[in-house]
Amino acid sequence: MEFWQNNVDKILEFQDKKVLQNAGSNSKAEMEKQVRRVYGLFDQRRIIEGAKEADAEDLESLKKLADRINKEK
């Protein structure tokens, strides 16, 4: 366990992040609430980006279909 703690500390320090010297002041419940909030925001962005990507793919398919129809005329 100490191996992982040291490696995570090194990664945080490399990224100029502060490493806690104790257990911190947030309770587990507060941490879980924060994680749910942050994940909720991430999930909303992920859904929106997925919908935008699907819309772009649909639009491209429609353009190709319109081009093919126009060529057949």
Round the CA-based radius of gyration of the chain to a whole number and report it. Answer: 24
- % of the chain with per-residue pLDDT over 70: 100
Burial class (CB in 10 A: 0-12, 13-18, 19+), 56: exposed
Domain boundaries along the sequence of the chain: 26-73
Tokens of 2: 């100490």
pLDDT higher than threshold 80 for residue 68: yes
pLDDT(21) > 90:
no
Position 46, amino acid: R
pTM: 0.57
Q: How many CB atoms lie within 10 A of CB 42?
A: 10
Return the minimum-mean-pLDDT range out of 17-26, 27-36, 62-71.
17-26
